[in-house]
A and B are shown apart, each in its own frame.
Chain A
Amino acid sequence: MARFFASPGAGRVLTSPHVIAGGLIVAAVFLCALFAPWLAPHDPEDQNLIVRLLPPAWMAGGDPAYLFGTDGLGRCVLSRLLYGARVASYVAIVASFGAMLLGGVLAHIAGYFGGRTDWLIGRMVDVLMSFPPVILSLILITALGVGVNKVALAIVLVDWTRFYRVLRSEVLTVVQRDYVAAARLLGYSSSQIIWREVLPATTPLLITLLSLEMGIAVVVETILSFIGLSVEANVSAWGVMIADARNYVHQTAWNLVLPILAVFLTVLGFNLLGDGLRRTLDPRLALRVGR
């Protein structure tokens, strides 16, 4: 770790505007999620039917007690957004790490050993890739049942192929390098070589994909909670808020715009971070750009 921070790569990463902007947004979302119970001014499920559909506090008719206004049942939009960040962050972290583990492990095994294992996993990927991702997640949710953890599991089962496809071809090129051949000649076991020689070379790509996958996971969770297949009825999620707000589009746009903005900012954060990491962590790309 210490060696990483002293390397020129670390300087590149930590001064990249993409990484800084994305990192700040992502950190803010995670902090909101972590401290939601302390930050939220109201209970997110508390209905106050006297103050239904209030506009945000800065608009005419707004109530300073409800900074972002209230929804159709008189619930505090700000509090619901903060609690929604919990669901989003949870799914983003669990699902993307799961997909990374499954896809990464299989990619390294298939890329390193090749042969029949590679063929078999490749055909599995073909089958999964012949579904549009949304359709596959819907079918899996039908089978697995409803709930946040099921959603995370469905995302893992759908999206490990994203890691697999990219990482496998990277492993194939890394395995060709002389230092891997040298390690083989020195008599290291396959698992040692994968762990100590191949993995360090594929880690930049792994981290980049992880960041992008978190954004994808947030979107999928929003989709499934929008359709009503993710969280229980008494949990705030951004997709649920969007679905609720659709019934009131003619009265107020804020209820719809705010959760959409929350999804947008979160995904933008992950995308910026991933993009910045891709440009700065990969020495070849960084040299070509000329940083």
Chain B
Amino acid sequence: MSSQHRRQPTRTTRLLAATASLAVAGLLAGCAGGSTEVNSDYGFVTAEQDPSSTITVWADASRQPSVEAFEAANPDIKVELVVDDGSAGGSATFQTKISLADQAGEGWPDVVFSTQNNDASWASKETNGVQAFAAPLNKGFLEDDFLDGFTPGALDPLTVDGTIYGLRNDLAPVLFWYNKPLLDEFGYTVPTTWEEYQELSDKLAAKHPGYFLGSVGDSFAGTYVYYWSGEAPIFTLDGDTFSSDVTDPNSVKVTELLDHMVDNGTLIQDSVFSGEFVANADKLVGIPGPAWYAGALFQNTESVNAQPGQWGTSAPLYWDGEDKVTGNVGGGTWFASSHSKNLDAVKTFMEFITSDEAAAGSGGLPAYASAADAWLAKQAESGFFDGDFEGSVSTAASSVWDGWGFPNFSVETAYAKVIVPALAAGKSIADVAEEWQTEMENEAQVAGYKVG
């Protein structure tokens, strides 16, 4: 071949080598670290502080009013709000982006909001040599006085080995909702225990077929509303060990309750957001559900669309003779970045956004006790709901069962994968309970937990 052609490969090789080394240099640069000493004031390794820098907040559209309230009350703190999807619907935005930022060694925000409440499970852990993203809050960063002001149990999902890694934005405890006119018409009383709930279902099935008492089609309903409220240890975490026991007496009780009611027709398999549910909403006699059913179902013109005074609330159901505990369906969380360059501003922000009455809860039940009381009082003013709204919700909020785990995977996926199709195929939950447990255990293993 001629000399011309011999030149080309060399040129190409040189170009390749140059770019490759540039890339490698770039990649390595990202791994350069700063100081590695734990800051004794805060309890974690802090980055170099710049008290005048802008803080970057990642939150979803529903939090924007709260963030704006903060900006109005603190004009000297510069906030850059980046609106995202809040990690909703399994998108895992928070975890995805922090994974990338960790690899690059830069690009972390200062504050993050997540609609999921199990993010502390991964955000509290160091990954691949990079410090855990979530800043520990009870090691000196935030005052104990402030942290004690949260409703008892609110910070449980965010506590790993005694260290609190985030703040709870709102609570979604499960209570019991009932349709007053219907109950009066049929002559029944509001059930207070699960046993009474099942009895009511038998009565309805016998005398008023077509009337129902809830739905198991939603993955959040079956798991959080029934199993968690029923104190069933199907999703527990102890340190790094995950365990699920569908044979535990409480688990069996819940399974039998659900199977019984699906059989007699008082529990439907359609989602509470489905056409079926909406079309038959006037036949719903009562339903255990989270506090946010108020806005999503009962006061929503596109859903149940209740009349004032038609629906009421009462304390959560419990097993006769057992602890009066309940479940919880959701509630967002705020995290502070351990890499933040303006921890003072972050502190002010975190405290304001969770406890200030103008911002706390962003439309739902705030997790901070004083803000919650104020919010409840305001809600009760309208008198829309029958019964003791404030009382029921407060009771529910402070009695969430602490035996539920918050590992880095959701309980809903296994339920959706195993139980929902089984029910649709005519099987009972008892039929597939073992399979369900195995699926959850497998997911735990893959997520890095030991199974016990």
**A interacts with B:** no
Interface residues of B (CB under 8 A from A): none
Residues of A within 8 A of B (CB): none
